Structure 1
Amino acid sequence: MASPVSPINPYTPLSTAPSSSTNSNSTSVFSSYLGRFSKWRAELGLPNPGSVENLQKEVKATHLTNYAFDGGRADLTKSMSMNPLFQVTHSFALGSQTMAPSYNFGAIYATENVFLQGGVDHDGNVNARVNQGWSNGHVSKAQAQLSQTPGHNLLQLEQDYNGQDFNLNLKAVNPWPTDLTGIFVGSYLQSITKNFACGTEWVLQRPTPSTSELVATYLAKYTSTDKSWIATAQLQPAGILQATYWQKLSEKVDFAADLQLVATPMRRDAVATLGAKYDLRLSTFRAQLDSTGKVSALLEQRFTPTFAFLMSGEIDHFKNSAKVGVGVMIESSALSPEEMEMQMQQMQMQQLSPPQ
Structure 2
Amino acid sequence: MDRPSFENIHGSVKTAQASSHLFEGAKLSFTKGLSETFQISHNFEFGNPSLYMFNATFVDLLPGTQSPRTILIGNMDTTQSFLARVIRNFGNLTTTAIFQQYTRQSQSQLVTQLEADYQGSDHYVSLKVGDPDIVNESGAWFFSYLQSFTRKFSLGGALRYEYSNGLEDAVTTVGGSYKNDDHWQANATFEGRITGLSNFNLSYLKKIHRTTNFFLDFEGQFFGESKVTGGYEANFQHATVRSQVNTAGEVYTFIERKLAPGISFKFGGSLDHKSNEQRYGFGFFIGGP
- TM-score, normalised relative to structure 2: 0.89
Cα pair 2:117 2:126 within 8 Å, conserved: yes
Q: Match for 2:53: what amino acid? A: N
| 2:124 is the counterpart of 1:170 | no
Match of 1:337 in 2: none
Aligned to 1:144: 99
1:152 CA displacement: 5.2
In the alignment, which residue of structure 1 is the partner of 2:217? 258
Q: Is the 8 A contact 1:161 1:167 kept in 2?
A: yes
1:216 aligns with 2:172: yes
Once the two structures are superposed, what CA deviation does each residue of 1:23-71 show, in whole Å capped at 9, x if it has no partner?
xxxxxxxxxxxxxxxxxxxxxxxxx953123212211221123310121
Q: Distance in 2 between matches of 1:326 and 1:49?
A: 32
Pair 1:270–1:151, CA change in 2 (3 A):
farther
RMSD (CA atoms): 1.8
Q: CA deviation at 1:146?
A: 0.5
Write out aligned runs for 1:26-45 (5 A): none
Q: Stretches of 4+ moved more than 4 A in 1?
A: none
Checking the alignment, whether the CA contact within 8 Å between 2:244 and 2:253 is kept in structure 1 is: yes
Contact 1:49-1:165 at 8 Å conserved across structures: no
Partner of 1:236: 191
1:334 alignment partner in structure 2: none
Q: 1:260 to 1:221 in 2, by over 3 A?
A: same
Q: Distance in 2 between matches of 1:324 and 1:81?
A: 36
**Does residue 287 in structure 1 map to residue 246 in structure 2?**
no
Could you tell me how far 1:229 is from its partner in structure 2?
1.4
Paired with 2:280 and 2:4, the residues of 1 have a C-alpha distance of 35
Q: Is the 8 A contact 2:184 2:205 kept in 1?
A: yes
CA distance in 1, matches of 2:135, 2:142: 18
State the alpha-carbon separation in 2 of the partners of residues 123 and 277 from structure 1.
34
Which residue of the other structure, out of 40, 44, 60, is the alignment partner of 1:92? Answer: 44
Aligned with 2:54 (options 79, 93, 105) = 105
**What is the aligned-residue identity percentage?**
27
Structure 2 gaps of 5+ residues are 62-67
The code of the aligned residue for 1:72 comes to A
- Which of residues 135, 145, 151 is equivalent to 1:194? 151
Greater helix proportion: 1
Q: Does 1:53 align with 2:7?
A: yes
Question: Residues 49 and 166 of structure 1 are in contact (CA less than 8 Å); yes or no, is this contact kept in structure 2?
Answer: no
Tell me which moved more, 245-254 or 163-172.
245-254
Q: 1:126 to 1:151 in 2, by over 3 A?
A: closer
Q: Is the Cα–Cα contact under 8 Å of residues 93 and 118 in structure 2 kept in the other structure?
A: yes
Q: How does 1:118-129 map to 2 (within 5 A)?
A: 118-129=74-85
Among 73, 88, 94, the alignment partner of 1:132 is 88
- Corresponding position: 1:323 with 2:286: no
Is this contact kept in 2: 1:50–1:162, CA < 8 A?
Answer: no
Is residue 2:257 matched to residue 1:305? no
Which consecutive residues of structure 1, in runs of 5 or more, have no partner in the other structure?
Answer: 1-47, 332-339, 345-356
Q: CA deviation at 1:239?
A: 2.5
Q: How far apart are the structure 1 equivalents of 2:267 and 2:139?
A: 40
SS of the residue 1:53 aligns to: helix
User: 2-side partners of 1:52 and 1:180: how far apart?
Assistant: 28
Q: TM-score, normalised to structure 1's length? A: 0.73
* 1:155, distance to aligned residue in structure 2 (A): 0.8
**What are the superposed Cα offsets for residues 222-273 of structure 1, whole Å, 9 maximum, x if unpaired?**
111x232111111013231111111222221122221112124xxx101111
Richer in strand (by share): 2
What amino acid is aligned across from residue 244 of structure 1 in structure 2?
A: S
CA distance in 1, matches of 2:42, 2:268: 20
Query: Please, which of 25, 37, 44 is the counterpart of residue 71 of structure 1?
Result: 25
Question: What is the CA-CA distance between 1:173 and the residue it aligns to?
Answer: 0.4
Query: Given that residues 49 and 190 in structure 1 are in contact (C-alpha distance below 8 angstroms), is that contact kept between their aligned partners in structure 2?
Result: no
State whether residues 30 and 42 of structure 2, in contact with CA within 8 Å, keep that contact through their aligned partners in structure 1: yes
Structure 2 residue matching 1:68: 3-state secondary structure = coil
